[in-house]
Amino acid sequence: ILRVHGRKVPLAPNVDLRILARGTPGFSGADLANLVNEAALLAARKGHRIVAMADFSEAFERVVAGLEKKSRVLNALEKATIAHHEVGHAIVGSLMPGGQKVEKISIIPRGAVALGYTLQLPEEDRFLMLEDEIRGRIATLLAGRAAEEIVFGKVSTGASDDLQKATDLA
C-alpha cells in the first residue's frame, strides 16, 4: 500500500518502504496515504525535490502524535518531570510481557494535550492481548506516574491520560 501511495512521490535512495511498513501496523490505507502526503509536504517546505527518510520520520510523528506545539513553553521543572515520566514508561514498557521496542522519547509538546510521549511500535498487527500483556500495558501506563513519585516525591497532572487509558484497559 505504501508503494501504491508513494508511486507519484520522488523518493530518496535512503527511503526503505519495508522499514516504514514495519512501523505502521494498524494503519489504514488512508493513514498510509496521509503519511506519504505529509512527508512530501515536509520535503517541499524544505525546498527538497525528493522525499527522504527523515521526512517520513517527522511525518510519522505528526500523524501519530500531532503537530508540534511551539507555543507551549515549559519551565525547567516541567521538562524534568516530563522527561522522567517518559523514561518511566520506556523502562517498564521494554521489560513487560508483550513490551514493544522503544523507538523514541520526546518532551516536545505535540497535539492537543501531549507534553511528551514515548513511542513504542508493535512488531506485528495484533487483534488480541493476553492477560499478562494487558497487565504489562497497564504497568507501562502507570510507570510514568511512578517515576515522577520516585524522583520528585510527588506526582503531577501529566498522568491523567495514562490513568484513563489504564482504566479503559482494566
Dihedral sign, Cα of residue 66, residue 156, residue 80, residue 137: negative
Alpha carbon of residue 81 to chain centroid: 18
Catalytic-labelled residue, pool 38, 61, 86, 148: 86
How far is it, in rounded angstroms, from Cα 136 to Cα 161?
17
Residues 159 and 89: beta-carbon distance below 8 Å = no
Is 149 annotated in the active site? no
Residues 156 and 101: beta-carbon distance below 8 Å = no
Residues 34 and 73: beta-carbon distance below 8 Å = no
- The residues assigned a catalytic role are 86
